[in-house]
Amino acid sequence: MASLKEIKGRIASVKSTLKITSAMKMVASSKLRKAQGAIAGMLPYQKALEDILGNLLTEGSADPRFFAPVQEEGPLKVAVVCFSSNSSLCGAFNSNVIRKTLALLGSLKAAGCEVTVYPIGKKMADAVMKAGYAPAGDFTALSGKPSYGPAAAIAEELVQGYLKGRFDKVELVYNHFKSTASQPTVQETFLPMEKPSAQVQDRDLIIEPSRREQVALLLPKVLKLKVYTVLLDSAAAEHAARTVAMQIATDNADSLLSELNLEYNKGRQQKITNEILDLVGGSIE
């Protein structure tokens, strides 16, 4: 059995850890509320743009390359944009998305594809480099502070690479914020695009300037907004995962502290009992 001094030291250590996890939980909760507000405000805007684009799309109104099916003949040139956090202590958030990304990269490599990796976040960058892939750039800051400008710049680079033949396909891998308790890992195709469905039927529309000009204006906006929305989605998922992880850590610390206090009190009581017995034994003698 550990001495009372050792138990007291462990109690002090657990209390210190408990303060840290509680503080981290409060910070993560605050960041989660902000991230939820950002993604909740962005999704309706993105949906509205996609609806407008779907209403404007007709045969010949857009560059067909954006919606062309992937040619499966020969090895493909694939860009993979994968999102993680810059820091840890967020449960399985990073390990889940890294595992899915590395599985995708492995399958593409096995199929003979030429792969370009855009790792958004330090944890992802470290993982892909360790796996032998060279990142297309340093996007660490983007994961820490999601911003439309840098996200739009990445989207523009991907679009131009796709249109100029550098990429045949662009894939996104990230954790989706479903709820505080659930952040499933998602893989979806960024390019070629899936045509948005039209929301307006059998209605005469007067469009100025031409439908083709409007589509040419909206398509890049929709694609840039998609990357930014995924970035916000991943950030919200990260803060949710960290909030849950710190809550679990705090609960475990509380439980351990109760056990240690009980053990300390039992040991102290036993020590007092032994001292009383010694005194009684001495008086009898």
For position 122, which CATH number holds?
3.40.1380.10
3-state secondary structure of 71: coil
Q: Do residues 278 and 217 make contact, with C-beta atoms less than 8 angstroms apart?
A: no
Cis peptide bond upstream of 209, omega within 30:
yes
> Per the domain annotation, does 80 fall within a domain?
yes
Residue 216 pLDDT: 86
Residue 197 lies in a domain: yes
Distance CA 14, CA 260 (A): 9
CA 129 to chain centre: 19
Task: Provide the domain count of the chain.
Answer: 1
Q: Between residues 68 and 97, which one has the greater pLDDT?
A: 97
Of 186, 181, 234, the closest CA to residue 35 belongs to: 234
Helix residue spans in 57-193 (DSSP H): 93-110, 122-130, 140-144, 148-163
Query: Which residues are registered as beta bridge partners of 172?
Result: 81, 188
Tell me whether residue 237 is in a domain: yes
What is the C-alpha to C-alpha distance for residues 132 and 88, in angstroms, rounded to an integer?
Answer: 22
Highest mean pLDDT among 2-16, 26-40, 65-79, 268-282: 26-40
Domain that residue 40 falls in = 25-243
pLDDT for 267 equals: 85
Residue 256 forms part of a structural domain: no
**Order of strands across the sheet with 169-175?**
114-120, 77-83, 169-175, 185-191
User: Cβ–Cβ contacts within 10 Å for residue 281, how many?
Assistant: 9
Average pLDDT for residues 60-89, to the nearest whole number? 84
- Token couple for 210: 């031409």
Q: Considering only 1-5, 180-184, 214-218, which range has the smallest mean pLDDT?
A: 1-5
The stretch 36-51 carries a mean pLDDT of 90
Q: How far apart are CA 233 and CA 39, in angstroms?
A: 6
- 116: pLDDT strictly greater than 70: yes
Confirm whether 267 is domain-assigned. Answer: no
- pLDDT-derived band at 243 (thresholds 50, 70, 90) equals very high
- In a domain? residue 264: no
Please give the model's pTM, rounded to 2 decimal places: 0.88
What pLDDT is attached to residue 283?
58
Number of C-alpha atoms within 13 angstroms, CB side, residue 252? Answer: 8
